[in-house]
Amino acid sequence: MFGGFTEGMVDAGDLSVFARHAGNGPAVLLLHGHPRTSSTWHRVAPLMVEQGLSVVCADLPGYGRSDKPEPTADHAPHSKRAGARSLVHAMEELGHETFAVVGHDRGSYYALRMALDHPERVTRAALLDCVPISEHLDRADARFATAWWHWFFFAQPEVPERVINADPDAWYDGDPEAMDAENFAEWRAAIHDPAVVRAMVEDYRAGLGIDADHERADRAAGRRLQQPLLVLWSTRDDLEDLYGDPLLIWQNWADDIRGGGIDSGHHMAEQAPKELAAALTSFLADAPR
């Protein structure tokens, strides 16, 4: 995986994050979702480098090989605000004062917070399989709770860690053939690390509390995304089933919006890499250089 990429730990201020990077030209940061690591981008990132982009794939704080924040009662160290600040610092360390950001699943919430809190750094944002956490919660009904029950399970104290760590392979179903052997091996090593499992559920605990509070404060203050926004979703996942056209929800958050569905299951970077890379590079083609 990632032939020609440099990889290693990068200083991110209060912690260090593991990152892979390669290429020249406008910079883009790719952020994975739960329970993946940066290796989920192994089919997409090289295609974007070929199109003249400088690509950074980072493990989210707490995930994969990145450092693990120490949990607190308010979950603030695992908030998207704290994580976004760390990732901006890491991009600075890699020489990227400004950059575009792409986030999938949980990574999309870090990307959204980065774009809101650091508009002078983030030139464009692409959010995949995502509407804001607060928008989910404000619409939550029995259908949502049934489909996305894991949000509320992960929010419980201690129990999720015990359940997942008892048999990570049974809890998380991975396919080495579909994922590729190296990606699968990296993912499996991560889910077998109790420190990663704790950080991943802390991410969700922060989501239902401090992260949702931050989003609602943004809405109350009239804060909106200043950057062009691309929203993509997997047509064989359930976001469109729950809400119809996700772009209608994003009108509450941004003025310059575009996007649509990708014919894929949830892990689109692994299942539809050529289509995803094409959509992202087209969106980033006129980004500042």
User: Among all residues, which ones are annotated catalytic?
Assistant: 105, 266
Distance CA 242, CA 240 (A): 5
Distance CA 246, CA 131 (A): 7
* 22 closest CA partner among 42, 2, 43: 2
Q: Which residue has the tokens 């032939």?
A: 3
Beta-carbon-side half-sphere exposure of residue 244 (alpha carbons within 13 Å): 4
Distance CA 176, CA 203 (A): 26
Q: Interhelix angle for 80-93 vs 106-117, to 10°?
A: 70
Question: Residue 162: enclosing H or E segment and its boundaries?
Answer: helix 159-166
Decide: 215 and 133 in contact? Cβ < 8 Å: yes
Distance CA 94, CA 274 (A): 26
CB atoms within 10 A of CB 109: 26
Decide: 44 and 64 in contact? Cβ < 8 Å: no
Q: What share of the chain is helix, strand, coil (3-state, %, to 5)?
A: 50, 15, 35
CB atoms within 10 A of CB 112: 28
